[in-house]
């Protein structure tokens, strides 16, 4: 139905706003926030946003959902944020973004294992093409790779991918909306980051007006609103469809760098953006359903069916 297609496209567009928002994180962090405080930045993104949404939702987990919310919060927020920032600080030339773009392939594999979704050749090919397109956009020539940075990037991708699939597998408790589920995860993730940030980075830094504005943006738009849209999309779309929106984040970062930070875009980068965006769109296409073919009968079967119908009509006439 056209109305169903329009609603589906609208849902995809709303969900896509999440990775588009995340693509602005690098510019906000480098231009407005204190340097070398990745854990504190992760904490300020997660915990205030989680507490705000928790106050709006006014719903706490019950029973087994205390444990599930903690696991999802750790995977999607608590482990993902620190690992992501660690990889970004230690890896050269956008390699962290390239390793992160492998997420769709990992989600395809985990969906087969945990959700029983059979991986298709199209999804594997689309994920590979998306990663290739992102690599053209963000990779730069640089020195030797940092093993810890590579491990952190791979671990952050695995963490977010696993959290995405488990969020789809566990769904939501009856009567609980995506707002509450988002609040639980952000709060749990922020509480997990807080002691690590205090131990590793010490007391919070002094904040000027631009930093306060930057943290407000990250907490409200970049995290609270973006993750609410993201988890709402996971609940109504397939895990594979959602994760194929991920390449929009590095693509947005490249566009923001060009528009706001006076960075240049080469023809190779523009080609990579087209390839990655095309793969993202292809990842949203639902497989066509096979039309049921009319059953064909042999001449002998047709005669038997005709005789049976004649017998039924004879009975009805009596």
List, for residues 116-143, the tens digit of each pLDDT value: 888 788 888 888 888 888 888 777 655 5
Cα(98)–Cα(101) distance, integer angstroms:
5
d(CA 85, CA 89): 6
d(CA 138, CA 149): 16
Q: What is residue 116's DSSP assignment?
A: -
Is the predicted pLDDT of residue 298 greater than 70, yes or no? no
For the chain, percent of residues with pLDDT exceeding 90: 38
Interval 77-117: pLDDT, tens = 999 988 887 777 776 556 667 777 788 888 888 988 888 88
Q: Which residue in this structure is represented by tokens 């791979």?
A: 154
Buried b (16+ CB within 10 A) or exposed e, 246-268: bbbbbbbbbbbbeeeeeeeeeee
For residue 282, pLDDT beyond 90: no
Is the Cβ–Cβ distance between 229 and 178 less than 8 Å?
no
Classify residue 118 as left (phi > 0), alpha (psi -120 to 50) or beta. beta
Q: Does the pLDDT of residue 293 top 70, yes or no? A: no
pLDDT tens per residue, range 201-247: 999 999 999 999 999 999 999 999 999 999 999 888 888 888 888 88
- Residue 134 is encoded by which pair of tokens? 């992102």
Whether the pLDDT of residue 150 is over 60: the answer is yes
- Structure tokens of 18? 């999440």
């Amino acid at each position: 139905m056209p109305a169903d297609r329009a609603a589906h496209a609208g849902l995809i567009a709303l969900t896509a706003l999440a990775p588009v928002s995340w693509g602005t994180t690098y510019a906000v962090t480098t231009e407005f926030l204190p340097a070398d405080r990745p854990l504190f930045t992760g904490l300020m993104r997660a915990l205030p946003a989680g507490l705000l949404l928790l106050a709006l939702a006014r719903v706490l987990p019950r029973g087994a959902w205390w444990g599930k919310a903690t696991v999802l919060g750790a995977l999607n927020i608590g482990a993902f944020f620190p690992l992501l920032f660690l990889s970004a600080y230690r890896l050269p030339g956008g390699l962290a973004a390239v390793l992160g773009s492998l997420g769709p392939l990992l989600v395809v594999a985990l969906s087969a294992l945990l959700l029983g979704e059979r991986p298709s050749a199209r999804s594997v090919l689309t994920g590979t093409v998306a990663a290739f397109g992102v690599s053209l956009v963000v990779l730069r020539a640089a020195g030797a790779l940092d093993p810890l940075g590579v491990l952190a990037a791979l671990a952050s991708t695995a963490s977010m991918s696993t959290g995405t699939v488990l969020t789809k597998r566990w769904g939501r408790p009856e009567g609980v909306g995506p707002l509450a589920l988002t609040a639980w995860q952000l709060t749990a993730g922020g509480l997990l980051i807080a002691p690590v940030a205090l131990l590793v980075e010490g007391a919070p830094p002094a904040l000027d007006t631009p930093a306060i504005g930057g943290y407000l943006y990250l907490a409200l738009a970049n995290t609270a609103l973006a993750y609410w849209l993201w988890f709402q999309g996971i609940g109504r779309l397939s895990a594979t469809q959602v994760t194929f929106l991920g390449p929009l984040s590095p693509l947005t970062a490249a566009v923001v760098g060009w528009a706001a930070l006076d960075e240049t875009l080469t023809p190779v980068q523009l080609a990579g953006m087209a390839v990655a965006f095309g793969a993202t769109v292809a990842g949203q296409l639902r497989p066509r359903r096979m039309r049921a073919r009319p059953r064909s009968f042999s001449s002998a079967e047709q005669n038997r069916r005709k005789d049976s119908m004649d017998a039924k009509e004879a009975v009805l006439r009596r």
